[in-house]
Amino acid sequence: MTNFMLIPGMVSKLLPTDYVGFTFFIGCMAMMAASAFFFLSLNQFDKKWRVSVLVSGLITFIAAVHYFYMRDYWTAFQESPTFFRYVDWTLTVPLMCVEFYLILKVAGAKQSLMWKMIFLSLVMLVTGYAGETIDRPNAWLWGLISGIAYFVIVYEIWLGEASKIAQAAGGNVLSAHKILCWFVLVGWAIYPLGYMLGTDGWYTGILGKGSVDVAYNIADAINKIGFGLVIYNLAQQSQKD
């Protein structure tokens, strides 16, 4: 663990052209600022919404801590911090599934819906990790399995049980659910794109190679902070009515 830690009092040198390193630094600060924002706003919400906003803050806080590790790893080795990346996702993506459940709970969502989504997200992440690390020659195959799990999540929230509950709830809950659905369909789609830029497969001839980290860092900022703000907004709107 300590073999890549910085010497106390020393800052590693980042080249002005290291745009990947730049996005890691921005990621640290953005996640930290967002966490402060969500945590400090907690008092203004009543109990019903407080947990949802708290979870938004936990998601960006967990990401902030991982971003500090990933930034240091990148500055030390100029290599993708894949391990920390997937530890972060393994904690934060299931928490996003919890968020879906929390906002639909008022409309009668069952816990089984939450567990189903958590399970699917873990299948998506474990297979993605396998493709990026232990079995890179078959990255396309792992990516495909991961993509199927992702597709089932998209189906579940757009057309499945979750969408029916949101329809029944109507009002603010329905509009927030809709926005979150767009996050998962469009914002989350950046991840498989990043994966294809960083691994070799039939797609490499079409897409070429690119920085998997820049793609993931941009996606994280959009999906973790943006997603949290939707919840924050829902809580605030619902409190006014």
**Residue bearing tokens 């996702």:** 89
The b/e string for 143-171 (b: 16+ C-beta within 10 A; e otherwise) is bebbbebbebbbebbbebbbbebbeebee
Cβ count near 40 (within 10 Å): 10
Which region, judged by CB under 6 A, interacts with ligand RET, from 4-12, 20-28, 108-116, 186-194? 186-194
128 binds ligand RET (CB under 6 A): yes
**Nearer to ligand RET by C-beta: 101 or 150?**
150
Asked whether position 66 contacts ligand RET by CB under 6 A, the answer is no
Q: Which of 143, 198, 201, 228 binds ligand RET (CB under 6 A)?
A: 143
Does residue 75 belong to the site contacting ligand RET (CB under 6 A)? no
H helix intervals, 106-199: 111-132, 139-158, 161-169, 171-182, 190-198
CB closer to ligand RET, 34 vs 234: 34
Could you identify the residue written with the tokens 């493709």?
A: 131
Among 49, 61, 191, 232, which residue interacts with ligand RET (rule: CB under 6 A)? 191
Q: What is the number of the residue whose Cβ is closest to ligand RET?
A: 128
According to the binding rule CB under 6 A, does residue 92 interact with ligand RET? Answer: yes
How many whole angstroms separate alpha carbon 33 and alpha carbon 31?
6
- Residue 215 contacts ligand RET per CB under 6 A: no
Question: Among 16-24, 32-40, 110-118, 219-227, which window interacts with ligand RET (CB under 6 A)?
Answer: 219-227
Residue range at the interface with ligand RET (CB under 6 A); choices 77-85, 88-96, 110-118, 159-167: 88-96
- Interacting positions 95-124 with ligand RET (CB under 6 A): 124
Cβ atoms of 1 and 23 closer than 8 Å: no
Q: Is 147 in the site for ligand RET (CB under 6 A)?
A: yes
The CA distance from 57 to 31, in Å, is: 9
Q: Is residue 75 a contact partner of residue 21, using CB atoms and an 8 Å limit? A: yes
**Nearest CA to 143 among 191, 176, 212, 105?**
191
Q: End-to-end CA distance of the chain: give it in Å, rounded.
A: 50
Number of residues that bind ligand RET (CB under 6 A): 17
Q: Is 217 in the site for ligand RET (CB under 6 A)?
A: no
Q: Is residue 198 at the binding interface for ligand RET, with CB under 6 A as the rule?
A: no
Q: Contact residues for ligand RET (CB under 6 A)?
A: 89, 92-93, 124-125, 128, 143, 146-147, 150, 188, 191-192, 195, 220, 223-224
